[in-house]
Amino acid sequence: MNTGLIIAITAITGIFLLYRFFRGSFIKQKAAQLSAVINKHSLSDDLPQEEVWWALLDTPVQLELAVALARKALPVWKKYGETHEPAYKNSPTGPSVRISISLLQTSLEEIAKASGNRFPENNKSIMGCYNEFVAPLVALQDGNWTLTYPVKKIFLSVYNILKAIAEQENITVMKTLLSLSINQSLDCLDMCKLYSREEIKSFLHSYR
């Protein structure tokens, strides 16, 4: 084969691999930036300490509460999926990128399956779910995907649970993310009135 042709093919292959690497890194960086913006305005910042007692729970119990509340708020996401196709475009003329309507439920099921009596490890299934949230989060940040407040809250609640598992080597970050998830699910439930405040308070009391 011609030496010049070999060099050209090698160069093109190298450029393609570099593009894929930097594109993936860029998307993950954007998701991390979005997470910081979202989490900065958490309800926990506005509540007195006695109202966020769940931040002090042992991590397995904290995770259990976060998952339980997300399950209670899950009908909000399911109802959204019945009337909307979860999808976004990265540009006005670009193709639609669909988001699986089962993503949230599948994520919670994988977390519950891996939990048992301990905090789950970063297994392949859980990290696969986590990675599926990255591009939609970037689309939310860029305004390419819009959600109503309650739908956004349940979406972010499940995401923060997954991120807590991914960040479990840092206990402070992990517990903060689980607290955020709990607050986001409570916000969603309060906005949609799926349960009365008395019912939610009674449910929360069982974890104190």
pLDDT value, residue 170: 94
For the stretch 72-90, pLDDT in tens is 999 999 999 999 989 988 8
What 3-state class would DSSP assign to 98? strand
How far is it, in rounded angstroms, from Cα 157 to Cα 180? 7
175 and 52 Cβ atoms separated by less than 8 Å: no
How far is it, in rounded angstroms, from Cα 87 to Cα 22? 24
pLDDT value, residue 51: 54
CB-based contacts of 182: which residues, under 8 Å, 6+ apart? 54, 62, 65, 66, 69, 157
CB atoms within 10 A of CB 110: 21
Helix axes 103-115, 149-166, angle to 10 degrees: 30
What 3-state class would DSSP assign to 119? coil
How far is it, in rounded angstroms, from Cα 153 to Cα 38? 10
pLDDT value, residue 120: 85
Helices (H), the chain: 3-40, 59-83, 103-115, 124-142, 149-166, 171-192, 197-205
CA torsion 151→152→153→158, rounded to 10°?
100
pLDDT value, residue 31: 53
Domain spans, the chain: 3-205
How far is it, in rounded angstroms, from Cα 194 to Cα 80? 14
Low-confidence ranges of the chain (pLDDT < 70): 1-51, 117
**Neighbouring C-alpha atoms within 13 Å toward the C-beta of 66:** 40
